[in-house]
Chain A
């Protein structure tokens, strides 16, 4: 106590502040594992690895549903009529304008691959329903065309596209 002075900072003040700062940092650091444990774990991430899908068995006009990372992926083998309809749309009339060519891989216009989750509140749309022969969400009536673009209803965006590529003419890898 002899070193205490009424004016200015003492060595003891410094030690108090330094101790408090270390304690606060330590307390904050303990939050990291407590919060991080809730993020996707290693097995979930491993299970979310890319998947390969054989397109061979999918007949023209058929829509199949596969799961990747717990999300339904729609693979639509589109007919010529559907492709033409999707391409000949006045883009200015769309709520979320996007040409059909930007939503399929070049040279594979017959294959439409989509994440089958309505962009409104996350419901699963039904294929081959609605006015555009595309997808119809039963929850709140959003209608998508064969390109997965929103045409009417409350959904704000087109159906999202998963990352995927063609490994051969009849096989794709999603992810």
Chain B
């Protein structure tokens, strides 16, 4: 995806192929010789991890769909059938359920990395916005997937979340009825959620292609935020980035496997092992951990409509980040004030998540209101003003200079690539 291919096919077949469908050349130029900044750290490996997790979810999801029945009378039992009767069904389901949590974990790390190093700034605005679209898509996909086991939490999550649309004035009720395909969450709802849950991952895959395309046009950001200027600033994607990505992917898989094999239900809720019952609500409804910060924002606003608006705004505002941050300097490494505000923001997000898991009463609500206010203030007040008043540190002249500190090579840094 980066200019003219340098790929030289060796075998007669590949030479024949390259003149007809230059896919090997595309892969070669995108993932082999593609120049990556030599100073990328491990925070840059989560894009690869996310692509891997999308693959895990699609593969495990397709095989689960072979055994699942999307009908209100059979859905719960078909999931238990997967757990007890289907060969390795327990493993495939636990991989899929915990895979969703791992997917969000990687997505949030990936986003915070982008925020810390200013990866959303010119010329990477479209790349960042595509990322926000991907976040919205995985939120929708994860929610609809959670409904499919048709347990108590599934049913009531579907009820509460679809009811959010009823807050829209005038057309709210018809929209909710349209989403349900009935007068309440029921079989038509389960059917369409299943259909869309199968569809959306492929939409995600399509947007991921655009995301990677945009990445390869603009080039990767790096911890200094200074664009590569000469050949010594970059190393080829293979083996440098490939090996680094692979290593952390393995470490990440250890964490994933730890959840799957040792605590597969730790992130879930016991209530979801009770079949859906439209007559009884579980005493404490909580979404999965990865939706908790948004849930806290929803409940922090006393007005139903404004709560829904704030929930939507908390995600949509991310798309405007490239223009809300007025600083010319990308990396927080050279922005001493922004670096502190960044960590405050991380703590606020985690705090909102914690509050989202607590009952909406007393001090929890007050705390959630304060943190919600700060969440929006970070984007609307802190970031625009910081760019105007912050005194940034001097930037290095090049990536090479920042890595080598006056031409003394450090053991950990990669040697300059050999000129070809």
Contacts and interface: CB of A to CB of B under 8 A. Distances in A.
A38 B183 contact: no
Contact of B160 (A35, A41, A122, A137): A122
A140 B183 CA distance: 24
Name the prevailing secondary structure of the A interface residues: loop
Contacts of A69: 182-184
B407 interface: no
A131 to B, nearest CB: 15
B179 interface: yes
Interface in B78-133: none
A60 to B, nearest CB: 23
Contacts of B278: 67, 70, 72
B182 A40 contact: yes
B160 A121 contact: yes
A124 B281 contact: yes
B107 to A, nearest CB: 26
Contacts of B280: 124
A70 B183 contact: yes
B301 to A, nearest CB: 11
B48 interface: no
Name the prevailing secondary structure of the B interface residues: loop
Interface string A17-53: 0000000000000000001001111001000100000
B57 interface: no
Interface residues of A, number: 25
Contacts of A67: 278-279
Contacts of B302: 154
Contacts of A48: 182-183
Contacts of A137: 281
Nearest to B166: A122
Interface residues of B, number: 30
B216 interface: no
A70 B285 CA distance: 20
Contacts, number: 73
Nearest to B283: A138
Interface string B176-188: 0111111111101
Contact of A40 (B163, B181, B281, B285): B181
A91 B156 CA distance: 33
Nearest to A118: B281
A138 B183 contact: no
A50 to B, nearest CB: 13
B177 A40 contact: yes
A89 to B, nearest CB: 23
A41 B359 CA distance: 38
A72 B281 CA distance: 11
A44 B178 CA distance: 12
A4 interface: no
26 contacts: A38-B178, A38-B188, A40-B183, A41-B181, A41-B188, A44-B181, A44-B183, A48-B182, A67-B278, A69-B183, A70-B182, A70-B183, A70-B184, A70-B278, A71-B184, A120-B304, A121-B160, A124-B279, A124-B281, A137-B281, A138-B284, A139-B281, A139-B284, A140-B299, A140-B359, A156-B304
Interface of B: 156, 159-160, 163, 177-186, 188, 192, 278-285, 299, 302, 304, 359-361
